[in-house]
Structure 1
Amino acid sequence: MCGLVGIYSFKRNILDRKEYIKKCLLTMKHRGPDSHAIWHNNANYISGFVRLSIRDISNHGNQPMLSNCGNFCLSFNGEIYNSEKYKALLIREGVQFASSSDTEVLLYALKSWGIQFVLEHFDGMFAFAFYDLQKNELLLARDRLGIKPLYIGFDKNESIIFSSQYDHIINYASIQQEAFDPSSIGTYLQLGYIPDNAGAINKTILFPHGHYAVINSAGYTITQYYSSVKSVLSQQVLSEALIQKAAIEQLVSDVEVGVFLSGGVDSSLLAYLVNNKQPISAFTVGTNDAYSDETNDATGFAKRIQMNHQVAKVTEQDFIETLEDNTEAYSEPFADFSSIPSLVISKFAAAHVKVILSGDGPDELSYGYYRNIKLLHAGKYFFDNNLAKVAKLISGRFTSKYPFLDSRILTQKDFYTYYYQYLFLFGSSWVPAIFKPACAEAYFLQNIRNNSMQDVTQQNYMHTVRDIELNLHLQRVLLKLDRASMFHSIEARVPYLSNNIVDAAMAAGIQQHINGHEGKYFFKELLAQKTDHDYAYKQKKGFLVPMAAWLRNQIKADVYDKVLNMPADLDSMFNRNQLIKLLDKHTKDGKDFSGIIWSLYALVNWYNKHYNKQILRS
């Protein structure tokens, strides 16, 4: 787990950019505090790297890493969990390794077998830049589901800059004068982040997950190599053994590994399966709020499986003191305020371990949200004619026959748009009133619409639901996890998103995922076998912060000041009268619009902290 940055120029020598690369390394030292280095070809390519040493913590694992012949250079952020299998094959082919790192395996695999083989067979989380000196060709790639970040900027001097942090892109000399992309800001207000293949600033993007780019003197191409929509049915079967194998593989490390334990289904099952094979420490953060606190559940579970368990109780003041860190940690606009407790627990765990396992993934893979169950029962009605829809809506208003229906089935152009809106922030209905420009539709929503079937077959429309969850909602979850953990120099791994588990979950029938009104059924049943039914099927709580109250009290004055006095290039996009109305409705009338208000506040804070970052512009 590390950070990378680099520049490829089509026409000019970029050695004068070395000072900028140095500044970038300084500003992402938290991603890699153990070492840093820069490599260039004395011409048109330069790459910098900061390292968080996890596997082969000696200098042999440092990056950018050169091949023995000196013709290939790799900068790689992430982990390859099945690297030992391919290392053995490379040794048979005559490769001599200088380290025990997965980076070196990836380097020689790309050199020997090429990008297509690597992306098809390697299981891991990654963003990497692989440069071929003889071809003057750069390959950029991001993992299948977007666990690791990669941002791209296209500058007017015909160069491409890439980085693990968005602030490095937008403060680059020839990009910093680019205007905002209003449609992407609109998408941010809806989703709480700016999704793949878009950016807050023109000529910048979050490089899309499941894609790779080839960049050379002829230009560049971006190719999608993985699609959940088109994924081939796997021969793997979703099973305890499969999950445990993936979890154990992700324990590979030369430093201590821990696990987040929330007390919920996913983290508890993960902790059980790992601890059953290898003792591991679990970390839980709790509050004094009885509704959201799960420390008692987590503690009881840890005792039951005889697991070393570290618990920290935090106060509301602890959370508020994290607000400044929250702005610093997210160098792109980000509006999911569950990032605040994510930062708190990452800081707590980082005092004990350098790698953490996280239980993210099953909710999106296995229909774990209430909205998924709602669509299972109501999705078919979207495909009725309008007269039948109206009749069912009227009937549902006076009876309990159609409890899951809502009026949006009459207004949305297709099922994809209909479900997409389920992912919007709470209070996003205000966006048309407060925001003047049109909002862009997310790239992966278009991708799914163009590559899947829309019909009344439950199997098909539920696949669409899961594709949207994986490619849009999960991205916000993973972005939050990466930035929060890396801000405290801790590597977060997500075993449930290993290739084999994802493939098996995609191949499994709906009945294996949903039973009646219970989603994520396979995972709950498996946990119930290890604990008991009540623990596995208890109501999901989540780790919440009282943001609605904070916006009315502790940070009210600052929110009003920043939202109503935005910088000019943001202010021009908004309707000030409606902003005042929105704030007053929340703070004075007792309404809860915390989601959309926080997104506005976070946007201005991001602008002030990252858009004009003086250490990068000086």
Structure 2
Amino acid sequence: MCGIAGFISNNNNNLELSQAESIQKHRGPDASGCLYLQVGDWHIGLAHQRLSIIDLSDAGNQPMAAADGQSWIIYNGEVYNYLEIRAELEQAGLQFHSTSDTEVILAALQYWGPEKALPKFNGMWAFAYLDGPHNRLILSRDRVGVKPLYYFFSERQLYFASEIKTILTMVGGRFSLNYQVIGKYLLQSLLETDNQTFFAGIAKVPAAHLVEIDLASPSLSLTFKPYWRLHFAEPPNDAGEGILKEVQDLFFDAVRLRLRSDVPLGILLSGGVDSSAIAVAMQQVLGPGANLNLLSAVSRDHRFDESQYIDIVARRLDQPVHKVMLDFQPSQAFDYLEKVCWFNDEPVYSFAVVSQYLLMQKAKELGITVVLSGQGGDELLCGYKKYLGFYIQSLLRQGHIPTALKTFWSFWRQDTVLGQFSIMEAKRYLPSFLRPQELNIAGEKLKDFQPEILGLSNNMTLQERQALDYQRFSIPILTHFEDRMSMAWARELREPFLDYRLIEKIIPLPPRYKLRHGWTKYIFRQAMAPFLPPEITWRKDKQGFVNPQSEWLKHELRPGVLDYFGQDSLMFKLGLVNHDNLRQKYRAYCQQSALKGNIWLIDIFNPLALEIWLRKFHDFIQL
């Protein structure tokens, strides 16, 4: 992974591009380069900060020119099937001068054109492609939007970059806040639900799209073109065994492709079925003697620690585990939150982001450059508790009452999901008349806020609701913070569960393949049962990378929280939060028993992180 930045302008903005280089240096410390061109009336600047992963030689440096010198690319990410694409291009007569995947991507874009090349790519990417023969600049992001790309646009200027802070620096001045985005975060704990950002005027290039800018035109305009959509086609009723084998094969191949690297690899291991499955697949591909570099976050508090399951997997693999103990002091907690909010470009949603930051720091200390992650497995396989509720709701709507009762009873008997139900977490998915009454902390500036509907809408299938989590409500924020925390330490994260082939195969499957016999992720558990210890395959509880943050906010961190919630805080001055209601809500939260009550820890954490973010980005905000 790397950093990219650029501009199109009727003026020469070389200074802004050099500033962008310094802002994004953490994304690519191995090499950097700038290119300045003029196409017609337009000045164009392209900058790249390289983290070397494949072909570590200078031949992989960017900006990179095509063989004929007419086209250029700056590219962030990995197209994992670049070897297969290269072979196809070589059969067509093309020659290559390096082993870099960037050279392959550039050749594919030039040979087939972006519209035909992009559907062939399997990976994560954000790039700017200057198509010289056709006088156009193409911006694009991968199907799920793993790699970031932001832009600021006016009729005579376009700035784009991997990070928001880079655009803020290049454009200069102060930006108005986007109150709708702030409202979603503060009141619904939602981030990255659309292409807007916290700054009005700065937007994201949409996932699964290319954006075309015509450089022959006297004024700039953006044309957005989708190149991929998820389609829903159910398999035959008798496809059970065949689907199981296909899911297994696709998963192992998704892991295999993501092991292509010229630098050391590792994996984030939580002890859950998703990350454990990736670990065993890695060993199957690399061989029993390979060092898998297992990385895990653990806690001294047994209520939140998963060492038991992590150690079970490690013993099965006969591998050591590099553990990061989450035992930093309260004073450090706020320092870490300031750091991660800066790297994240937005307020973070929990201390889990700090855990990720510390794990990536550990990876750097160990010399592990590429790390595999299990993100996406829950959305793909209905791993979250909410999906059971959505499924039963859809069955009742369709009049399938016996099936709904049978499903409920199977989960009750297995004691898997129902025992973990929490009204604190579930309330945002409920219709307003079923939600518990609570204080509204919204300030005057959020009076026009329009909330998102997060439940199962009328006539919506469970599969369509899963797709929404991939496109809007879950995956975008998870990939956002994984990108920022890994890039803070110049590490690359890869997510096998976000392979588009798995998405196309599993999300359209009927719910019975995912929620069955009292188990979530049923088809995947069956597929991985021959490879995993049964304690992992059929593990009933679910945590992930957790920490005792709910208790920290009530006790160890309370003095600091009260300081951030002081009368002079920016969120109150800017009219974003009601001071009295927030303080009252925090007092009520501190009186709740652990994991009980109606106030979720996120209800307190989000305004805290918002205030920290406002202070870090104060110089860019129109007050």
Gaps of 5+ in 2: 237-241, 419-426
2:178 counterpart of 1:181: yes
Pick from 280, 286, 309: which aligns with 1:272?
280
Deviations 1:3-57 (A, max 9, x none): 1111123xx12x2x22222222212222111111111214421111111000001
Q: Which residue of 2 aligns with 1:100?
A: 99
1:556 aligns with 2:558: yes
Deviation for aligned residue 1:224: 2.5
| Equivalent position SS for 1:530 | coil
CA distance in 1, matches of 2:605, 2:489: 23
Q: Quick one: which of 19, 23, 34 aligns to 1:23? A: 19
Question: Size of the alignment, in residue pairs?
Answer: 569
State yes or no: 1:533 paired with 2:534: yes
Q: 2:517 corresponds to which letter in structure 1?
A: G
Percent identity over the alignment is: 26
Shift of 1:383: 7.2
Q: Is the 8 A contact 2:139 2:205 kept in 1?
A: no
Query: What corresponds to 2:250 in structure 1?
Result: 242
Shift, 1:611, TM fit: 4.6
Instruction: After TM superposition, list the pairs within 5 Å mapping 1:499-514 onto structure 2.
Output: 499-514=500-515
Partner of 1:467: 467
| Aligned with residue 579 of structure 2, among 576, 579, 584 | 576
User: Is the contact made by 2:147 and 2:483 (CA closer than 8 Å) also made in structure 1?
Assistant: yes
1:153, CA displacement in angstroms?
Answer: 1.4
For residue 529 of structure 2, give the secondary structure of its aligned residue in structure 1. Answer: helix
Per-residue Cα deviation, 1:371-427 (whole angstroms, up to 9, x for no partner): 10111112344579xxx9xxx9xxx9xxx9xx99xxxxxxxxxxxxx98669xxx99
1:589 deviation in Å? 6.4
- Whole-Å Cα distance in 2 between the matches of residues 322 and 427 of structure 1? 33
Structure 1 residue 493: deviation in Å?
0.2
Match of 1:285 in 2: 297
Distance 2:232 2:117 in 1: 17
Code of the residue aligned with 1:517 in structure 2: it is G
Aligned residue runs from structure 1 range 52-451, under 5 A:
52-155=51-154, 158-173=156-171, 176-189=173-186, 190-216=188-214, 217=217, 219-228=221-230, 230=231, 237=243, 238-278=246-286, 279=290, 280-317=292-329, 320=333, 322-352=336-366, 353-381=368-396, 433-434=442-443, 436-440=446-450
Deviation at 1:593, TM superposition (A): 4.1
| Alignment match of 2:605 (pick from 582, 593, 598) | 598
Q: Aligned to 2:474, what secondary structure does the other structure show?
A: helix
When normalised by structure 2's length, the TM-score is 0.84
How far did 1:204 drift?
A: 1.3
SS in 2 for 1:311: strand
**What value does the CA root-mean-square deviation take over the aligned residues?**
3.2
Confirm or deny that 1:33 pairs with 2:47: no
Distance 2:482 2:177 in 1: 26
CA distance in 1, matches of 2:429, 2:474: 9
Give me the TM-score of the superposition, normalised by structure 1: 0.84
Deviation, 1:477, is: 1.5
- Deviations along 1:512-558, one digit per CA (max 9) or x if unpaired, are 21213311112222333223433322211222222233333443333
Contact 2:5 / 2:48 at 8 angstroms: preserved in 1?
yes
**1:67-111 deviations in Å (ceiling 9; x for gaps):** 122221111110001111111222233333222111111111111
Is the alpha carbon distance of 1:333 and 1:223 closer, same or farther for their aligned partners in structure 2, counting shifts above 3 Å? Answer: farther
SS in 2 for 1:439: coil
Paired AA for residue 447 in structure 2? P
Deviations 1:335-369 (A, max 9, x none): 23310111111111222210011111121011111
Q: Mapping of 1:44-55 within 5 angstroms?
A: 44-55=43-54
Report the residue type matching 1:323 in the other structure: L
Instruction: State how far apart, in whole Å, the 1-side matches of 2:195 and 2:532 are.
Output: 43
1:441-494 CA-partner distances (Å, limit 9, x unpaired)? 66xx89x99xxx953xxxx51112211221221112111211111111110000
Mark the CA change 1:105 to 1:361 in structure 2 (over 3 Å): closer, same or farther.
same
Which one of the candidate residues 530, 541, 544 is aligned to 1:542? 544
Q: Please tell me whether the aligned partners of residues 152 and 160 of structure 2 are also in contact (alpha carbons under 8 angstroms).
A: yes
Change in 2 beyond 3 A, CA 1:150/1:251: same
Q: 3-state DSSP class of the match of 1:583?
A: helix
The residue aligned with 2:488 is: 487
Q: 1:285 to 1:419 in 2, by over 3 A?
A: closer
